[in-house]
């Protein structure tokens, strides 16, 4: 099956600094890589995603890069703000099991704290 490793587990930055979270995956068949943000006591919500036919995607202060050869992808947040404080999860999607249905494997999460 797929294995997704995420680093670091905690990250503290000063407001205005950049934050980078890295993930690696094991199965080269994975072809969709979303990032979810979970604020304290809330449900995870998709913030950005990238498919395997694209190397980079940007949405305002958030960007994701994908290196298929190395099987790793990263989340970049620029000009961090206190409201960026949350747990961030990366994930990789591939066809799952005998039916070939698509399912996500999540990383273990990164707790980002932005200090004002």
Positions touching another protein (CB under 8 A) are: 1, 4, 6, 9, 32, 34, 42-46, 49, 89, 91, 93, 96-97, 99, 101-109
Q: How far is the CB of 9 from another protein (least distance, A)?
A: 7
Q: How far is the CB of 62 from another protein (least distance, A)?
A: 15
Nearest 10 degrees: Cα torsion 16, 84, 5, 94? -120
Q: How far is the CB of 116 from another protein (least distance, A)?
A: 25
Reply yes or no: is the peptide bond before residue 87 cis, omega within 30 of 0: no
Of 73 and 89, which CB lies nearer to another protein in the complex structure? 89
The DSSP line for 31-53 is -EEEEEEE-TTS--EEEEEEETT
Of 9 and 81, which CB lies nearer to another protein in the complex structure? 9
Of 65 and 106, which CB lies nearer to another protein in the complex structure? 106
Q: How far is the CB of 79 from another protein (least distance, A)?
A: 25
Of 49 and 63, which CB lies nearer to another protein in the complex structure? 49
Q: Round to whole Å and give the CA distance between 104 and 116.
A: 34
* Alpha-carbon 79 to chain mean position: 18
Partners of 1 in the beta sheet? none
């Amino acid at each position: 099956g797929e294995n997704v490793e995420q680093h670091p587990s905690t990250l503290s930055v000063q407001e205005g600094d950049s934050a980078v979270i890295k993930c690696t995956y094991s199965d080269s068949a994975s072809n969709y890589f979303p990032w979810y943000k979970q604020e304290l006591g809330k449900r995870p919500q998709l913030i950005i995603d990238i498919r395997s036919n694209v190397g980079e995607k940007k949405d305002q202060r958030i960007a994701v890069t994908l290196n298929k050869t190395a099987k790793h992808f990263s989340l970049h947040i620029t000009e961090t703000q206190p409201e960026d404080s949350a747990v961030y999860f990366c994930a990789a999607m591939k066809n799952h099991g005998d039916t070939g249905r698509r399912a996500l494997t999540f990383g273990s999460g990164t707790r980002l704290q932005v200090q004002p």
